[in-house]
Amino acid sequence: MPNTILVGAQWGDEGKGKIIDFLTARADIVARSQGGNNAGHTVILGDQKYVLHLIPSGILRPGKVCVIGNGVVIDPVHLVGEIEGLRNRGIPVADNLVISDSAHLVLPYHRLIDEIREKAKGRRKIGTTKRGIGPCYGDKVERTGLRASDLRDPVVLSEKLKRKVAENNKILKAFGEAALSYAKIRADVLRAADVLRPFLANTSVYLHNAMRAKKKILFEGAQGTFLDIDHGTYPYVTSSNTTAGGACTGTGVPPNRIDTVIGVMKAYTTRVGEGPFPSESPELSDALHAMGREYGATTGRARRCGWFDAVATRYAAMVNGIDELAVTNLDGLDALAKIPVCVAYRAGDQTFDVPPSDLALLARCEPVCIEMPGWKTDTSKARSFADLPPRARAYLKKICSLTGARLAIASVGPARDQTIVVE
Ligand code: IMP
Ligand code: MG
């Protein structure tokens, strides 16, 4: 497997963590390029469940190196918690983790302002994870952020932090909120800095050296295509480029070194947070929640569920250049007699085969569906494509042909062995 980008083809939570874990067996390095601890990637190993937020899921595989690239935003205190959490469970985190010194830092004022802005928006809230992601990327683009390299020098770090806390306390005051304590933030960040310092490096150089040594890199996308700041359902998006291009800008690996793009999508659609969702189905949401499925890994929120949306995934295949598809959660549809699949959107007398950019128009779109027959069989024990009921195979083939990419992997449950490689 040469250099491969893995992206979410929907609104996040496509099951990327599990597919990454599976593909890591064939890679040498797993790199994150965007997002922060808003992500929640769940990996099940035997009877153990791991939820990773900032550290690539590759950390669970011995001998693999995980890279947190320059495009990621790092909450240093959270990252230390994640490192210690893994170590406490016997997962070594040492020279198998390299952190970009140009990644921006998420600090307590980012989290607080994220929360306050959401509250102030009322009904128009985005439904963020309240991890401070938007305000941190805001500072980055505004050119006032702190970066991981600042963790190297306590004096420089303290000076920059002092200015930022003072500035943010003015903003907090305008919102009628209490001021943050510079001393407390400084102490917490300095403590985290001591743990993180040995991991810091220029990860672009690291990755280029690795490529020269013929190492294979797997780029682990976080969130999904329709949460992309440019290509998603703005403003109901996250603040980074979740699409394939983000893997290059977020790591310093150029586009001509990328060999394959794999899109991960659920056999249906989910979304957590606010924003338009044309194929949303309360009936499917109820059915999946009743099975105990579709609760967020980061916030525990119940995800909104809907039918497979080929308008969305076709668009995702286009903007990401998806070569191959991994379809997850097929088993979630096992009990259904009939399965609608959204093939177009309709608003009034207009029909769309790509999602309209105008949010108000998108919000008015109704799904135009075809109906596929259900298989009404437990697929969770299938281990090969041939093991699947013919109707499940037909369904998979149909959603992939509507999306316009080759089916490479189907997943029928959270465990590593519940993964079907389609030849
Ligand atoms: P933020 O990234 O916390 O600013 O949240 C912005 C939007 O992206 C909200 O709708 C979140 O629910 C959504 N979001 C952020 N991260 C994830 C993720 O990892 N999975 C699914 N949705 C996410
Ligand atoms: Mg998730």
Instruction: Read off the tokens for 187.
Output: 């102490």
- CB distance 82 to 107 below 8 Å: no
**Taking Cα atoms as reference points, which of 239, 248, 339, 209 lies closest to residue 287?**
339
- Is 13 one of the catalytic residues? yes
Pick the atom of ligand 1 nearest to 130's CA: 3
Question: How far is the CA of 272 from the CAs of 8, 14, 115, 125, 263, in angstroms?
Answer: 14, 12, 16, 13, 19
Whole-angstrom distance, CA of residue 330 vs CA of residue 309 = 15
Ligand 2 centroid to 420 CA: how many Å?
21
Catalytic residue among 13, 101, 228, 331: 13
Pick the atom of ligand 1 nearest to 301's CA: 12
| pLDDT at position 1 | 63
| pLDDT at position 423 | 87
| pLDDT at position 297 | 83
Question: Which residue's alpha carbon is nearest to atom 11 within ligand 1?
Answer: 128
Ligand 2 centroid to 264 CA: how many Å?
12
**Taking Cα atoms as reference points, which of 252, 261, 284 lies closest to residue 271?**
284
**Quick one: DSSP state of residue 294?**
-
Helix (H, G, I), strand (E, B) or coil at 306: strand
Output the CA torsion 352→357→362→367 (10° steps).
30
- CB distance 49 to 106 below 8 Å: no
- CB distance 341 to 369 below 8 Å: yes
Chain position carrying tokens 């970009």: 100
> Long-range pairs for 284-293 at CB < 8 Å and ≥24 separation?
287/335, 287/336, 288/332, 291/332, 293/329, 293/332
| pLDDT at position 410 | 98
Helix (H) or strand (E) holding 210: helix 203-212
Pick the atom of ligand 1 nearest to 128's CA: 5
Ligand 2 centroid to 133 CA: how many Å?
15
**Quick one: DSSP state of residue 322?**
-
Segment 84-110, tens digit of pLDDT: 999 999 999 999 999 999 999 999 999
Residues of the chain with pLDDT under 50: none
Report the DSSP pairing between strands 217-220 and 260-266: unpaired
Question: Which residue's alpha carbon is nearest to atom 20 within ligand 1?
Answer: 12
- Tell me phi and psi for residue 225, to 5 degrees: -50, -45
Ligand 1 pocket mutation, candidates 57, 226, 238, criterion most atoms within 8 A of CB:
238
Angle at the Cα of 222 from the Cα atoms of 275 and 193, rounded to 5 degrees: 120
Ligand 2 centroid to 404 CA: how many Å?
24
Bond before 235 cis per omega within 30 degrees: yes
Angle at the Cα of 91 from the Cα atoms of 89 and 92, rounded to 5 degrees: 130
Ligand nearest to the CA of 296: 2
| Residue ranges lining ligand 1, Cβ < 6 Å | 12-13, 38-40, 126-129, 131, 133-134, 222-223, 227, 236, 238-239, 272-273
Ligand 1 centroid to 390 CA: how many Å?
36
Segment 23-39, tens digit of pLDDT: 999 999 999 999 999 99
Extended strands (E) in 356-417 = 366-373, 406-411
Ligand 1 pocket mutation, candidates 10, 114, 223, 270, criterion most atoms within 8 A of CB:
223
Ligand nearest to the CA of 36: 1
